[in-house]
């Protein structure tokens, strides 16, 4: 993946840190990054929303052949979660062994380190999901 | 609007070409295509490559290829649509012939993945997905495929053994194919015992590091009647979709492929039943299965039946990936779409040697960019 430069990372922090997203006022389509035009209905007005921090696990896999920049973290788990408002989100899964995962289990968002850039030592943070603590 | 004809093809063997450069590969394929057509020059050149700017740090392939061919002076440029870049070059070339602005065009596809380290290639293959979203969290192309694979098996209650028959079919067809990367048979057990790349997706359900280039000469009606080389008539259509499949209404369906297929069939004035050969985009086994369904050649959740009943074999009702497809011929990313169409051309001009399919008069090639965020559908017809 790309080398991390601060401005490029910083401009997406609302979504990555807080699951803050943009909902089309006309059709309700959720966009993770602020769009100019709704991809579904082409309306141009959006409201800022915070996505639910909980949802259920639809599917998961383990990345065994990582991209550049992720070598030291592999193997890691990638999951597909359906949030409580129906939004689907792809996320790394944390604090869990693959054997403990079950399709349909309740998951919650947590704030984690995603990776460290090897050259400039910039640390990228973002969301990861983990089994909800009951 | 002029009709478009394929009047020449050129292929290199798909391999790890340690001694040959990207430029040499694409030049070799292009020269073969020019020679096959019996042409010295063309009006324009379009080159499709997905990875050359990343792995070789070489852009500007149009001017580079024109110079290598001794054709500097004519317009030449590259066209990009991720893994469908080769098909994109065909699309642009065909449109230029149709418009009447060009009489003959060279379209080529090339990629040389063996110049990158494994992680670099994995990263490079992610440029077709959303870098700021899935790329940022290290979700590889194969991991997104794996999520779709799990959802598919659960929804349709189909076992992996049924889907993993696709690579077995491809390898059956690649035996003895000179330009194939892996010209040998494999068993279902080999696929099922191969290591996970991202479970449930196994290594033998995906493609490998591959280098290769393919080229076509496209001509309009005027040249088609002058040139002596065997010809086929070409129609190509395209469509796009959201880049991340999980933002689509149904991640187990490729609407862009459905749309491009419908448009191409309409323009070629044929029905699905008349498609005699099909080239499916099997970047993974699960993509192949969903492609067969989305393009209307199988019902939802039922594509495995075509495999099990032998309908996709060379002697079946719909011979599929007749030279091995992406899995066994090899998948040099941006070159693949051109290989697919070149192979259909060899079939329809009776030059497919031991893989020759009898009686076919039309063929369809489906080329996908990413997880079907771009779809190209090319139909070739035999010229009687």
Query: In this predicted structure, what is the pLDDT of residue A118?
Result: 67
CA B110 to chain CA mean position, Å? 12
A69 interfaces chain B, CB cutoff of 8 Å: yes
Is residue A1 scored above 60 in pLDDT?
Answer: no
Tell me whether residue B290 is in a domain. Answer: yes
The mean pLDDT value for B202-219 works out to: 98
User: Mutate which of B139, B205, B249 to disrupt the A interface (most A C-beta within 10 Å)?
Assistant: B139
pLDDT at B347: 98
**In this structure, is residue B169 part of a structural domain?**
no
Number of domains chain B is built from: 1
Instruction: Closest CB to A126: pick one of B117, B136, B199.
Output: B136
Per-residue pLDDT of B124-137, as tens digits, reads: 999 999 999 999 99
Chain pair A-B, CB pairs under 8 angstroms: 113
pLDDT of residue B359: 85
Quickly tell me which residue has 């009687």 as its tokens: B384
B107 within some domain: yes
Contact A73 B147 (CB under 8 A): no
Residue B259 lies in a domain: yes
Asked if B249 has any chain A CB less than 8 Å from its own CB, the reply is: no
**Beta-strand pair A30-31/A54-63:** unpaired
pTM above 0.80, yes or no: yes
* Interchain CB distance below 8 Å, A61 and B150: yes
Structural domain boundaries in chain A? 6-131
Contact state of A1 with B133 under an 8 Å Cβ cutoff: no
CATH of the domain at B341: 3.40.47.10
List of residues 6+ apart from A25 with CB closer than 8 A: A43, A45, A46, A47
**pLDDT value of residue B270:** 98
Mean pLDDT across chain B: 97
Other residues' Cβ atoms within 10 Å of the Cβ of residue B227: 18
B139 CB within 8 Å of a chain A CB: yes
| Residue B172 domain-assigned (yes or no) | no
A129 interfacial to chain B (CB closer than 8 Å): no
pLDDT at A120 over 80: no
pLDDT digits (tens, 9 = 90+) for B76-115: 999 999 999 999 999 999 999 999 999 999 999 999 999 9
Cβ count near B359 (within 10 Å): 6
Confidence band for A5, pLDDT divided at 50, 70 and 90: confident
What residues does A55 pair with on adjacent strands? A83, A107
Whole-number Å distance between alpha carbons of B219 and B231: 10
Alpha carbons B105 and B45: distance in angstroms, whole number: 6
Q: Give this complex's ipTM.
A: 0.97
Residues in chain A closer than 8 A to B150 (CB atoms): 59-61, 103
Tens digit of each residue's pLDDT (9 = 90 or more) over A55-110? 999 999 999 999 999 999 999 999 999 999 999 999 999 999 999 999 999 999 99
Domain range A6-131, CATH architecture: Beta Barrel (2.40)
Give the CA diameter of chain A. 44
Instruction: Note down the domain range covering B221.
Output: 4-118+207-382
Chain A contact set for B201 (CB, 8 A)? 61
Using the beta-carbon criterion (under 8 Å), do A62 and B199 form an inter-chain contact?
yes
Mean pLDDT, chain A, rounded, equals: 94
**Residue B305 placed within a domain:** yes
- pLDDT above 70 for B73: yes
């Amino acid at each position: 993946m790309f080398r991390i430069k601060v401005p490029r990372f910083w401009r997406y922090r609302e979504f990555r840190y807080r699951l803050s997203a943009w909902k089309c006022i006309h059709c309700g389509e959720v966009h993770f990054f602020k769009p100019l035009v709704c991809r579904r209905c082409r309306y141009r007005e959006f409201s800022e929303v915070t996505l639910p921090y909980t949802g259920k696990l639809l599917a998961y896999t383990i990345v065994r052949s990582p991209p550049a920049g992720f070598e030291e973290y592999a193997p890691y788990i990638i999951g597909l979660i359906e949030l409580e408002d129906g939004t689907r989100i792809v996320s790394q899964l944390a604090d869990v062994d693959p054997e403990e995962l079950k399709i349909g289990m309740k998951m919650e968002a947590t704030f984690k380190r995603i990776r460290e850039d090897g050259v400039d030592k910039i640390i990228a943070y973002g969301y990861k999901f983990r089994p909800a603590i009951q | 609007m002029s009709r478009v004809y394929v009047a020449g093809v050129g292929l290199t063997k798909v391999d790890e070409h340690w001694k040959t450069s990207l430029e040499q590969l694409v030049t070799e394929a292009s020269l073969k295509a020019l020679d096959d057509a019996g042409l010295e020059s063309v009006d324009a050149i379009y080159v499709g490559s997905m990875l050359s700017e990343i792995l070789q740090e070489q852009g500007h392939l149009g001017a580079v290829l024109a110079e290598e061919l001794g054709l500097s002076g004519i317009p030449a440029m590259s066209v990009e649509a991720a893994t469908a870049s080769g098909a994109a070059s065909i699309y642009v070339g065909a449109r230029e012939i149709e418009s009447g602005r060009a009489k003959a065009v060279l379209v080529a596809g090339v990629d040389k993945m063996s110049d990158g380290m494994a992680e670099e290639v994995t990263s490079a293959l992610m440029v077709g997905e959303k870098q700021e979203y899935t790329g940022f969290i290290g979700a590889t192309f194969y991991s997104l495929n794996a999520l779709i694979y799990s959802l598919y098996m659960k929804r349709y209650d189909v076992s992996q053994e049924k889907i993993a028959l696709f690579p077995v079919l491809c390898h059956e067809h690649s035996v003895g194919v000179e330009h194939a990367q892996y010209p040998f048979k494999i068993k279902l057990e080999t696929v099922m015992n191969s290591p996970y790349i991202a479970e449930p997706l196994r290594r033998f359900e995906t493609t490998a590091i591959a280098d290769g280039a393919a080229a076509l000469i496209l001509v309009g009606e005027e040249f088609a009647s002058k040139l002596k080389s065997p010809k086929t008539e070409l129609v190509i259509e395209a469509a796009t979709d959201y880049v991340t499949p999980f933002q689509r209404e149904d991640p187990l369906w490729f609407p862009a492929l459905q749309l491009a297929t419908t448009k191409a069939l309409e323009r070629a004035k044929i029905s699905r039943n008349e498609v005699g050969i099909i080239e499916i985009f099997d970047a993974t086994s699960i993509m192949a299965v969903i492609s067969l369904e989305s393009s209307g050649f199988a019902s939802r959740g039922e594509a495995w039946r075509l495999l099990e009943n032998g309908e996709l074999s060379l002697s079946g009702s719909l011979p599929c990936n007749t030279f091995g497809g992406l899995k066994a011929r090899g998948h040099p990313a941006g070159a693949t779409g051109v290989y697919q169409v070149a192979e259909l051309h060899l079939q329809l001009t009776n030059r497919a040697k031991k893989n020759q399919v009898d009686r076919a008069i039309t063929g369809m090639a489906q080329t996908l960019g990413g997880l079907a965020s771009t779809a190209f559908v090319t139909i070739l017809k035999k010229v009687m």
